[in-house]
Amino acid sequence: MTEADAGSTREATRGRRVPVSEWEGHEPEPLSSEEFEAVWGLARCQIAARPS
């Protein structure tokens, strides 16, 4: 997914809660708990760095 795709997804779902499994182009990947923690840690850092 490109940043442009992510933007259009955000716009399309603004104000609605849409499960990740229903996102267009969502392809689940099995992760070990260590892999999940690494990815989630990076995501938390990126969220925290966003201007509010």
- pLDDT, tens only, 13-31: 566 788 877 888 878 889 9
When divided into structural domains, the chain yields a total of 1
Interatomic CA distance for residues 19 and 25, integer angstroms: 13
- Give residue 22's domain range: 3-49
DSSP string, 28-46: -----HHHHHHHHHHHHHH
**Contacting residues for 39 by C-beta, under 8 A, at least 6 apart:** 31
pLDDT at 4 over 70: no
Q: Look up tokens 């229903």; give the residue.
A: 22
Indicate whether this model's pTM tops 0.75.
no
